Every structure is written in structure tokens, then in C-alpha cells.
Amino acid sequence: MSELDKKKGGAPAPKDWTYAPAPESRDVVHIAERYGHFVGGEWLEPSETYETISPATEETLASVGLGTDEDVDRAVAAARGAFANGWSALPGSERAKYLYRIARILQERSREFAVLESLNGGKPIKESRDVDLPLAAAHFFYYAGWADKLEYAFPNRRPRPVGVAGQIIPWNFPLLMLAWKIAPALACGNTVVLKPSHTTPLTALLFCDVVRQADLPPGVVNIVTGYGSTGAALVRHEDVDKIAFTGSTGVGKWIQRETAGSGKRLTLELGGKAANIVFDDCALDQAIEGIVNGIYFNQGEVCCAGSRLFVQESIYEPLIAKLKQRLTTLRVGDPLDKNTDVGAINSRDQLAKIEELVQSGIDEGAEIYQAPCRLPEQGFWFAPTVFTNVAQSYRIAQEEIFGPVLSVLTFRTPEEAVEKANNTPYGLSAGVWTEKGSRILWMVQRLRAGVVWANTFNRFDPTSPFGGYKESGFGREGGRHGLEGYLRFDE
């Protein structure tokens, strides 16, 4: 044995594999002390403001305008003016140039946006950086490609823009939902008034600077911030031609009632209680990663989260053992740390809802497992949680928790799996894990879900339509289907 080999053999193996902190810099983004509303290409001074905070530290980040009925009225008037004064008549090839510019600027400023998204929303920086920002830019690129091809997308139907679109987005994917809404609307020749969630307005307000950089004509994109009353004013406004809403099922039902008979076009992407179905012939380790990604991605604050896990009885015990072991490796903490897997819950109200539903699971008799982890003292946090011995009737198996909480149930046959998976008022998404392609196709035909993933979960692409059935809403966003909601047709 050489002297070098002897030295190699004598090196002690590391005993501590703890990750050192790897924080992303906050200095890459500038946050103003006070924000107004972006209307007609200018900032309007708000009559009232509220404070938006970081859910990880509870520190105040900025004062943000609290939109009134008058603010909404101004924004809609600006959008109507831009629609009538040239934007709707602009050739598709010219609209595409603006969308391409926006996409490129988002790419160039992706680090800035990712930091702000994590700071204001609580999600891990690696998710903002590697998922939200690339997908947001990709949607603008994709719909830029469609802008001058609408006649080919809908042959023999003479597509025309709808007019002014009122868009209301949630707090779990603020910038990505903005891209899902604004990109197809502009590609079709519409103008928009967008209302972001009151807890996560900052990336939408930073997007106004992207609009300025891209030289988008004034009034084409208008952003008004505020609470639910601001969104309600937008829904009720008589000069809005289209409402696109992503959020809770309860609010979606109210919007549908409010717009009934008004002639407004409507698309709703609402809640979910997705079934993630694992058969005994799956690649088990791959399935474990898919389960973890399905429910703990973005702290489980995902409408299509795989919050109900159905496991074939023959592999139940080894799967649960592997899943619990995998949970011990998840790192909960600072959203700006590049090592963090699970960040902060978005708000105090959402944390209280999660805690209440988890307690109901315990009270009803389910067995709880939470991976040992030290939660920060400041901010809103909840440990990744797994419930076993769950019955279909338990609230944790029926209601959308919107947090890092997984309910595990079992099945014996594919027929039983389908029956249990469809036993929910929701129908947004589902997942199937098996090596048999024929079984995947059999399951897909029978699952009442708008999206079914096979041997993966939470995969998104701008070319693929996304939407639900039943109480998960109607209409589709993404793909060619996402254009149709922003068009009327002269048959």
C-alpha cells in the first residue's frame, strides 16, 4: 500500500452532516416604505394603507394601499380607455413583442423577484428561485407565441378580445398566478385590473416596474391592492367584462352568485383535496419523494397538494416507515436559507386554521406523527405532519387544510382506490404511482380530477391546461385552453 493510500485510509469520516446556514442576500431587492395603486401607468396615492409583513419574522415590510371603490373605478376606467384606444386593435405580432419583453425582464430580475417572493410569502428561496420565477417567465414566453396565431388556435371562429378583465389572485403563488392571469389576457388583446392577495402584494407591485421597463402602454395593466372588499368592488363593477379568480371555494361560490345574469365571463380555480394513489408495484423510493413533494412543497399551501395519500395495503408498513424517515431530513426554517425545505406559514389566520384542523384529527382518533424539528420562536410555523389510521369521514380527510399535513388511508383494489379518491366535493388534481401504463390509463379515465399526474406530482408547464371539476371550479388556465376564457367568437 502506498503512503498516499495509507493517508487516505486514515481520514476520519464526518460525524455531523448538519447544513451550515446559506442565506440569500436581502440587499438584492429594494422595498419602498409605502406603495399606492398602479393605475394608467402611474402611481396613485392611497387614501388608506395597511401593513404587509414577513411571515417568517413578523416584521413590517411596507405600507400598502387599501383600495376603495373609487380606486377600483379609476383602474377599470384606465383599462377601458387603453382597450378602446389601441391595445385591442394592435396586431398580435406587436402585442407579442411586449410579452417577450416582460418575459426577458423577469428572467433578468429573477433573483430580485425570488427574494421578495420568499420574504413576503414565507416560501423557501429555492422554490421561488427554481419553480416560481422560471414558470412565470415561461408563461409570458408561451403566450407571446400565441398572440399572432389566435386564428390558428381557433379556426373558423374569428376570435376577438373580451375587453376589461378583472383578476383576483391568491397568496400561495403570487407572481406565478399573476403570470397565469395576465399573460393570456394580454396575448388576446384584453386589458386587466389585477388585485393581489392582501398578505402578499409586493411582487405584484414590483411587477409594475417590469411593466414600465417593457414600455407597455398606460392602462393595459393596472394593479389595485387591498382586502377582500377591494376584490368585491372589482367583481361588482359594471364595466368589467371578465372575472378570473383563484382562491377558496367559498369565495368562488360568492363570485358566481354575484356575477350570475351580469353577462360577465367567469373562470374559477378553487380548492382541492387531491388523492395521491400508490400501488404495490410502484418504485417505492421514487414514490416517497413524490409524496413529500406533493404535500410539503410550499408548506402544503397548494390548491392541488396531494393531501390524501392512498396506499395499497400490501406496502403500507414499509411505505410509512420510509416516509417517516424521510420527514426527519426535512429542514424547517428561514425561507431565505437555500437549505430550507419547509418555510413559514403565510399568516397567523392560516396557521390557526391548520392547528384547528389538526386538533380535530387528533380528537377524532387519527394517529399523528410530526418529525422532530426546532421551530423558530418568531413567525408562523408548523411542523410537517402525517396522520395514519384516518377514516374517510374525518375532517382532515374531507376539508382542505392548506398546510403541511398529510392524511394516509389504505385500499385493496383499483376500484376501491377510485371510489375513495372520488369521495370528495373537490376535483382539482390526483396522482397515480404504478409501473403499469395500462393501469395508469384505467385510473385516469375514472378519476374525477382536472389534472392527473403519473409517477410524479406537482409538475407544471405553460403548455398544459390546469383546472378542476365540481367545487374545484371551472375553466382552464395554461395551454391553448387558457386563451379561450379571454376571447369571444364571432361565429
Q: What is the pLDDT of residue 11?
A: 63
Residue-wise DSSP of 31-81 = --SEE-EEETTEEEPPSSEEEEE-TTT--EEEEEE---HHHHHHHHHHHHH
Domain spans, the chain = 26-270+472-489, 275-462
Residue-wise DSSP of 450-468 = SEEEES--S---TTS-B--
Active-site residue set: 269, 303
One-letter amino acid at 451 equals V
The secondary element (H helix, E strand) that includes residue 399 is: none
Assign 222 to helix, strand or coil: strand
Q: Which residues contact 371 (CB under 8 A, 6 or more apart)?
A: 324, 327, 328, 330, 383, 384
pLDDT tens track of the chain, all 491 residues? 455 555 555 566 666 667 888 999 999 999 999 999 999 999 999 999 999 999 999 999 999 999 999 999 999 999 999 999 999 999 999 999 999 999 999 999 999 999 999 999 999 999 999 999 999 999 999 999 999 999 999 999 999 999 999 999 999 999 999 999 999 999 999 999 999 999 999 999 999 999 999 999 999 999 999 999 999 999 999 999 999 999 999 999 999 999 999 999 999 999 999 999 999 999 999 999 999 999 999 999 999 999 999 999 999 999 999 999 999 999 999 999 999 999 999 999 999 999 999 999 999 999 999 988 899 999 999 999 999 999 999 999 999 999 999 999 999 999 999 999 999 999 999 999 999 999 999 999 999 999 999 999 999 999 999 999 999 999 999 999 999 999 999 86
477, 481, 484, 489: CA torsion to nearest 10: 180
Could you say which architecture CATH assigns to the domain 275-462? Answer: 3-Layer(aba) Sandwich (3.40)
Count of CB atoms within 10 A of residue 398's CB? 15
Q: What is the pLDDT of residue 410?
A: 98
Residue-wise DSSP of 261-305 = TS--EEEEE-----EEEE-TTS-HHHHHHHHHHHHHGGGG--TT-
Q: Do domains 26-270+472-489 and 275-462 have the same CATH topology?
A: no
Beta-strand pair 367-370/385-388: antiparallel
Assign 167 to helix, strand or coil: strand
What Rg, from alpha-carbon coordinates, does the chain have? 24
Sign of the torsion formed by the C-alpha atoms of 350, 351, 352 and 354? positive
CB of 204 within 8 A of CB of 177?
A: no
Q: What is the pLDDT of residue 7?
A: 52
What CATH code would you report for 26-270+472-489? 3.40.605.10
Assign 416 to helix, strand or coil: helix
Q: What is the pLDDT of residue 490?
A: 84
Q: Which three cell numbers stand for residue 430?
A: 390526483
Rounded CA-CA distance 92/485 in Å is 17
